[in-house]
Amino acid sequence: MKASPTLIVATAILWIGTLVGSYQLGQRTVASAGDTDAANLAARNGSAAGTDASSARSSRSARTRSHTDENQLTVKQVFAQLKATLRPGSMQNPTSMMRAMSLLDKLSPEDLPAALAEAEAMKDQQGKMLVYMALLGKWAERDGPAAMKYAQEHSKEPGMAGAVMKMSVAASWAESDPQAVWAWYQENKEEESGGMLGGNQLMLTSIFSNLMRTDPDTAFKRLDELDSSPKQMALAGMCQTAIFDDQQRQIMLKKIDTMPEGTDRTSTRQMLLSQWMMFAPDEATSWVAQQSAAEQTELRKSLGTMLFMTDPEKGAEFVMTGATEQEKPERYAAVINSWAHRDATAASTWLAEQGEGPQLDQARNSLVNALTSKDPAAAMNHAQAITDPDQRLNATSQVYQTWRAKDPTAAEDALDHSGLTPEQLESLRSPEQP
């Protein structure tokens, strides 16, 4: 039960997309608040009458503009404060990110050329990525093609900064003109299409995230126009919208059910549910518990991996819930396979609490595999606890052969106390053994 490479990349894309999405949400929130304030002010002013009221409004407006001009930070001042805010590791600090976004939001559209010049000179790549995301997103709100042209010209930035540039532009551009940004992608999809994050394909996460939110039918229709690799990028964007929005998630699950039987349907559902399990485990586990017994069996096996990344004990409980006696051996092994390579000691303790019996043999074999090189003494103990004679002999041989190459004395002593028959001991010590 391992996370697939596609899912790992999709999760990384989701993280990047969440940063871009957070900026877009913040911009919409600020704009909404500004509209509300303006409406309230207009209502108050509208209650006044006559020329005196009009003059008073003009006077207040002039004072407001003067006050704003006096308190408007210059580009140099904004970036001086940014340097103090965006210290190493600040991308992992939500408070620092919000402060940085707030500072960048003070810049006017006319400030953007000078601000981008300042960004180009930044040395900290994490901070640079955040600044580019905000500046280009702001630019794309007014002029998507121009912002994308700049992003293209600077897409060779080191690290992920180049990819984030175009992704941020696509996110903002898609808000105002989704058809235009889709057309741009279609014309440029063959350029810079390689790399771990897929080059221009990465923009599909932003394009399809917006489409999933505004027009799910079109989103699923356009999926059919994409090949396998870009389709995974688009699905990651759709999942980004659906993970934290119950209504969008229900829409997406229903749409997935209408897809033709096959790999796409299965992998799309797996991507959505796996990411939901990772980012909102309580909601996802509650949803799984409401499905049919047959469906839960498959879901618990396939989704448990996500929980082991954050809470192994909860992951073990999730995987084992509802397991029949016939299913338990495979479920125990799945738990240990996911847990032992992260924390073999904790996995061993958990397995010891499950009692004894042949249903644990597969799991003990998994512990032997995980511990043989790191802790052969513990691995030997688990090998001896296996109830099936043939499996116990094979596991003991595996530990002994590896241990003997590192510490022959300790390996021989452990083998003498392994409980094997004299014939078995002689067989394992035979020169014909590797």
Query: Are the beta carbons of 244 and 275 closer than 8 angstroms?
Result: no
Residue 156: what residue type?
A: K
Question: Given CA atoms 282, 288, 291, 292 in this order, what sign does their dihedral have?
Answer: negative
pLDDT of residue 40: 43
**How far is the first Cα of the chain from the last one, in angstroms, to the nearest whole number?**
30
pLDDT of residue 95: 82
Q: pTM for this one?
A: 0.68
Cα 278 off chain centre by: 8
Q: Report the distance separating Cα 428 and Cα 434, nearest Å.
A: 9
Question: Given CA atoms 417, 418, 420, 426 in this order, what sign does their dihedral have?
Answer: negative
Furthest C-alpha separation in the chain:
112
pLDDT of residue 8: 38
The single residue listed with the structure tokens 């909601």 is 283
- For every one of its 434 residues, what pLDDT tens digit does the chain have, with 9 covering 90 and above? 444 433 334 444 444 444 444 444 444 444 444 444 434 434 434 443 344 444 444 444 444 433 444 457 899 999 999 888 887 766 667 788 788 888 888 899 999 999 999 998 988 888 888 888 889 999 999 999 999 999 888 877 655 667 778 888 999 999 889 999 999 999 988 776 544 444 678 888 889 999 999 999 999 999 988 988 888 889 989 998 898 889 999 999 999 988 887 768 888 898 899 989 988 999 999 999 999 998 999 899 889 888 998 899 999 999 999 999 999 999 999 999 999 988 999 999 999 999 999 999 999 999 999 999 999 999 999 999 999 999 999 999 999 999 999 999 999 999 999 999 999 999 998 876 65
pLDDT of residue 326: 93
The single residue listed with the structure tokens 């996460």 is 205
Residue 95 φ/ψ, nearest 5 degrees: -65, -45
Backbone angle region of 88, left / alpha / beta, with phi > 0 → left and psi within -120 to 50 → alpha: beta
Instruction: Name the residue ranges covered by the structural domains of the chain.
Output: 1-279
pLDDT of residue 158: 56
Query: Are the beta carbons of 105 and 30 closer than 8 angstroms?
Result: yes
pLDDT of residue 68: 44
CA distances 242 to 21, 39, 230, Å, are 13, 32, 19
Half-sphere exposure of residue 290: CA atoms within 13 angstroms, side-chain side = 6
* CB-neighbour burial class of residue 379 (10 A; exposed 0-12, middle 13-18, buried 19+): buried
Query: Are the beta carbons of 86 and 99 closer than 8 angstroms?
Result: no
